[in-house]
Structure formats: C-alpha cells, structure tokens
Amino acid sequence: MARLKGFRERLSQERVVQVETEQGPYVVRLVKGVPVVHYALCPHRGGPLEDAYEIGGLLVCAWHRSAFRIGDGRAVHGPSCSDLPVVPARFDGPDLLVDWTREPADATGP
C-alpha cells in the first residue's frame, strides 16, 4: 500500500493528477468526492487519459471516444477491446492510500 501524502487537498484543487509508478504512469482523479486511480494511457492507442472526460459514470477517451466504467475500468463503448486498469485507493486523513500490489479491479462482470 503506497501513501500519497497530501493528495486529499491536492485533488480537491487539481481534480486530476498524473503520477509515475513502478507499474507505469497512472492518473489519480476525484470523481464526486471519491478517488479513482487508473492507468494513464488508453488501452486502444495510448491516448492520454489525463485528458479524458467523465460522463454518466463513464470515463471517455478524448482521442477516439472509447468509454470505460469509472468504477472498474470495463470497456463499454468505442474501439477499445481491452479494459482500463483501475487500482484500489482510498483516502486516509489528508493522504491517499493506493494498493499498487493488487491486481486492477476485475472488469469481467456484467
């Protein structure tokens, strides 16, 4: 479990922050007050998901409009055949705890 110090305040100001990890680049974003951590590059052709927009519980890539469920990264629309890796995360006081050691959320459900 990694601790990103001061990320509660930082996310409340910036809403979307890209971080470099041993697993590659990830994006941390605040969605209705809940932290969401997902891979920074779109599984379709590597579009920068820091620029993706949120609509109706979906994260939409700005390049070709692949849409992924924000909660688990499942690809539900557009050209991407792969799901988006989403990593468990939660606030702990002023910090954000991210479980990089766990497999990304299982997006194989309905």
If the CB atoms of residues 58 and 66 are measured against ligand FES, the closer one turns out to be: 66
Provide the pairing of β-strand 24-31 with 53-55.
unpaired
Cα separation, 80 vs 45, in Å, equals 8
Residues near ligand FES, by CB under 6 A: 42, 44-47, 61, 63-64, 66, 78-80
If the CB atoms of residues 25 and 79 are measured against ligand FES, the closer one turns out to be: 79
Measure Cα distances from 62 to 16, 50, 54, 98 in Å: 15, 9, 10, 26
CB of 87 to ligand FES, least distance (A): 19
If the CB atoms of residues 63 and 91 are measured against ligand FES, the closer one turns out to be: 63
